[in-house]
Chain A
Amino acid sequence: MRKVILGVLICMFACGAAFAADDVIRIGFFNSLTGQNAFGGQLELEGVQLAMKEIPEIIGKKVELVIVDNKSDKVESANAVTRLIENDKVSAIIGSYGSSLTMAGSEVAEVGRVPLLTTSSTNPLVTQDKKFTFRACFIDPQQGAGAATYAIRTLGYKKAALLVDVANDYSVGLAAFFRNSFVKLGGEIVSDMRYNSGDQDFTAQLTEIISKEPDVVLLPAYFAEGAIILKQARELGAKFRFMGGDAMDNPEMVTLAGEAIEGFIYTGFAYAPDMPDMNPVAAKFTELWKKEYPGKETNANAALGYDCYMMYVDAITRAGSADPEKIRDALEATKDLPTVTGVTTLDADHNPQKDIGILEIKDGKKTFVGTVVPEM
């Protein structure tokens, strides 16, 4: 019995150490494919794979995607990136959903001198003072300001309340940036309530907020808690409107929250499968997605995965080489590249300036309302 098990293990090891040809470009992909962030990670992977199917070769070399899971865990994230660089010798890396996971990985990439392009990590600290770390999405200060601008300029709201997940860096950051802009634009924050990820009962906070009679409540939550909050607010007879951030952009959300989500507005990446006046890249992406994954709804995470791959295609083509340092230099010079989520130009901090999309749930369906330029 013991010998059989040993034999099986040795066979597995032998298979694991498979070799690959030399004339390939290896792009590493580390993301949360299991664990609490698995939903976003999986969509981003499908976006990357879709792009890879479209352009399987760059500068005459076949692209090989090396996928590693980080279990939505920081230690695993750092290990995963180390493995990509040292073991798989990748030329470039596409990074993770969840800013803290990307940060753990990017520290390794900086030392290993391999460019890391993050799909959807919006925390400003991710690229701060980094040489090899880039991102394809906007940052939270822009998103928070975008939400505040839209609430005041377009909707004419004056009084806002915050309902923040204090155990979540994304939620705390977004709320802080929203507050700054909202106050600066002449609004007033009437209530600032808190909860922790995993909480189930929000009636105490909601009752307090209802008593302050705000026009709008910012809810920078992930969709699991967000859906419960929306439901409980509706049951308590809340009259105000809810606004959220890109983490609420999830096809499951409407199923979870039911009717309570009607009228919910959130900021997100400027992409939705049903948006009007789609740019040509977005139209192509949507068409390819429908062909490849019929019956599965796409979202901005998948679009960002697609964008990341295309940004590397552009950078590697301009660099004319699969050398990580040359790819880094080319990536840094990314300028006016048409992508699904808008035209991408990376600034000195390696962040793109992208329009903030405004989405609303109308008749139980995600509807793209328009874009907003944040007043910072």
Chain B
Amino acid sequence: MSAERGAKKVRNRFLTVLAIISFAVFLQQAPNLLDGYKIRIMNMIAINAILGLSLNLIYGMAGMFSLGHAGFMAVGAYVSALLILTPAQKTAMWILDPIAPWLLGVHAPFLISILAAGLAAAFFGWLISMPVLRLGGDYLGIATLGFSEILRILITNLTPITNGPLGLKGIPAHTNLRVSYGILLVTLFCTVRLMKSNFGNVIKAVRDDETAARTMGINTFQTRVLAFTIGCFGAGVGGALMGNIITTIDPRMFTINQTYNTLMIVVIGGLGSITGSVVGSVLVTVMLEWLRFVENPIMIGSTQLFLSGKPGMRMVIFSLLLIGVIIFRREGVMGMKEFSWDRLFSFFSRQRGDAA
């Protein structure tokens, strides 16, 4: 029995490595196979998946209803952008107030700026988690939403540092498939390891029954602070990557709508499921772009299809699909389940069994 399990483990690990390598080869070839539009969408999928995973850690796995993701993304995006921009670019851009002198010479390469973005967001996350995580449920949601707005308003008004409402532009487009999927892979690996470790069990215990967890001797407050801070690190990294793909950022990008987008990905994919966040990200990102065709006039013969060609139709249909998901599959596409090779194999063998 244990030998069989060992063999399965080896097989699974082999398959995982194989899948990663073949996907890497695909990414390497992607610029030849796909046009820039599809590559951009693929990049957005990876970034949304990173954001989804980090929010899922906070909301799905640790059970803390946070609406502050956009604020932490903003911190990440700004830190990364300010580190990457050259002094010449900075002087040209600050047309309202001159830039703070100490900021002018600060410069770092792209990957370091991403790391710094994550750390800065994690710091702010840690800072707010101290007072706020004593709250629970909806109150936590309100408090984090408020903090996120505070961050945004600070960014809007700290003109010498952030260029205020004018935002930053001309950020080099460093985000490419290799970077975004590389970071997604690291995020996935870390999340999976984290959830399989003892800390993962502790987080789930705190989520499911805090009193019971505390009775078992778990420091529930510390656990929640740690989970929240790690989640914010992910938000900072995601925000930085997003800034580096759009190449221009301003405070209005990071309103509550941005948080809702990420929340949607997590809920559609399945709260608490790592696979779910990735699947949710693919679904939401691809659907929103793909549904664009309904906003062009659709001709059947010589008559225009009813309601086609109206701007905004895309969002109507998308919302209907969302309502469908919520009605028919409330727990999200994946529920709390995870992808595993074993389940895939048993699924196929069952199918074959049915056929026979």
Q: Do A and B bind each other?
A: yes
Residue contact B300 to A15, C-beta cutoff 8 Å: yes
What chain B residues lie within 8 Å of A169 (beta carbons)? 164-167, 250
Q: For residue B159, which residue of chain A has the nearest CB?
A: A172
Residue contact B40 to A176, C-beta cutoff 8 Å: no
Interface residues of B in 255-298 (CB under 8 A from A): 257, 289-290, 292-296, 298
A348 within 8 A of B: no
What chain A residues lie within 8 Å of B95 (beta carbons)? 124-125, 173, 176
Q: For residue B257, which residue of chain A has the nearest CB?
A: A73
A167 within 8 A of B: yes
The tally of residues in A whose CB lies under 8 Å from a CB in B reads 44
> B215 → chain A, closest Cβ, in Å?
46
Size band of the B side of the interface? 35 or more
What chain B residues lie within 8 Å of A15 (beta carbons)? 293, 298-300, 305
Most B CB within 10 A of own CB, among A13, A125, A172:
A125
Most A CB within 10 A of own CB, among B92, B153, B156, B252:
B252
> A34 → chain B, closest Cβ, in Å?
4
What chain A residues lie within 8 Å of B167 (beta carbons)? 100, 103, 169
Residue contact A67 to B296, C-beta cutoff 8 Å: yes
Residue contact B315 to A71, C-beta cutoff 8 Å: yes
SS class, residues of chain B in contact with chain A: helix
| CA gap between A273 and B163 in the complex, in Å | 38
- Produce 1/0 per residue, B124-164, CB < 8 A to A: 00000000000000000000000000000100110000001
A129 within 8 A of B: yes
Instruction: Choose one: A66, A79, A123, A168; the contact of B40 (CB below 8 Å).
Output: A79
Q: A74-B250, A103-B248 are in contact. Are A167 and B295 (CB under 8 A)?
A: no
Residue contact B92 to A166, C-beta cutoff 8 Å: no
Residue contact A166 to B165, C-beta cutoff 8 Å: yes
A358 within 8 A of B: no
Q: A33-B312, A100-B250 are in contact. Are A79 and B289 (CB under 8 A)?
A: yes
B253 within 8 A of A: yes
Residue contact B166 to A107, C-beta cutoff 8 Å: no
Q: For residue A41, which residue of chain B has the nearest CB?
A: B311
Q: For residue B47, which residue of chain A has the nearest CB?
A: A75
Q: A69-B295, A74-B250, A167-B165 are in contact. Are A112 and B156 (CB under 8 A)?
A: no
A303 within 8 A of B: no
> A321 → chain B, closest Cβ, in Å?
22
> B280 → chain A, closest Cβ, in Å?
17
A111 within 8 A of B: yes
Interface residues of A in 8-32 (CB under 8 A from B): 12-13, 15-18
B327 within 8 A of A: no
What chain B residues lie within 8 Å of A158 (beta carbons)? none
What chain B residues lie within 8 Å of A112 (beta carbons)? 36
Residue contact A34 to B242, C-beta cutoff 8 Å: no
Residue contact B292 to A83, C-beta cutoff 8 Å: yes
Instruction: Choose one: B250, B251, B298; the contact of A16 (CB below 8 Å).
Output: B298
Residue contact A167 to B251, C-beta cutoff 8 Å: yes
What chain A residues lie within 8 Å of B250 (beta carbons)? 74, 100, 169
A200 within 8 A of B: no
Q: For residue B156, which residue of chain A has the nearest CB?
A: A167
A308 within 8 A of B: no
B209 within 8 A of A: no
Most B CB within 10 A of own CB, among A68, A85, A100, A128:
A100
What chain B residues lie within 8 Å of A128 (beta carbons)? 92
Instruction: Choose one: B156, B157, B289, B294; the contact of A83 (CB below 8 Å).
Output: B289
| CA gap between A13 and B293 in the complex, in Å | 8
Residue contact B165 to A69, C-beta cutoff 8 Å: no
A87 within 8 A of B: yes
> B313 → chain A, closest Cβ, in Å?
9
Q: For residue A78, which residue of chain B has the nearest CB?
A: B246
Q: For residue A123, which residue of chain B has the nearest CB?
A: B166
Q: For residue A5, which residue of chain B has the nearest CB?
A: B324
Q: For residue B36, which residue of chain A has the nearest CB?
A: A86
A149 within 8 A of B: no
Q: For residue A197, which residue of chain B has the nearest CB?
A: B252
| CA gap between A12 and B315 in the complex, in Å | 15
A341 within 8 A of B: no
B37 within 8 A of A: yes
A339 within 8 A of B: no
| CA gap between A287 and B343 in the complex, in Å | 69
B173 within 8 A of A: yes
Interface residues of A in 176-235 (CB under 8 A from B): 176, 196
B335 within 8 A of A: no
Q: A16-B294, A111-B173, A166-B157 are in contact. Are A69 and B311 (CB under 8 A)?
A: yes
Residue contact A85 to B37, C-beta cutoff 8 Å: yes
Interface residues of A in 49-75 (CB under 8 A from B): 66-69, 71, 73-75
Residue contact B296 to A107, C-beta cutoff 8 Å: no
B204 within 8 A of A: no
Q: For residue B250, which residue of chain A has the nearest CB?
A: A100
A82 within 8 A of B: yes
| CA gap between A66 and B297 in the complex, in Å | 10
- Produce 1/0 per residue, B28-52, CB < 8 A to A: 0000000111101100100000000
Residue contact A85 to B36, C-beta cutoff 8 Å: yes
| CA gap between A129 and B169 in the complex, in Å | 11
Q: For residue B311, which residue of chain A has the nearest CB?
A: A33
Q: A33-B312, A107-B169, A125-B93 are in contact. Are A87 and B246 (CB under 8 A)?
A: no
| Further 4 A-B residue pairs, CB within 8 A, beyond A79-B40, A125-B169, A169-B165 | A83-B292, A104-B247, A125-B166, A196-B153
> Ordered nearest first, which 7 A-B pairs have the shortest CB separation?
A16-B293, A33-B311, A86-B37, A34-B312, A86-B35, A107-B247, A169-B165
A to B CB contacts below 8 Å, 8 in the list: A34-B312, A86-B37, A87-B37, A129-B170, A169-B166, A172-B165, A172-B166, A176-B95
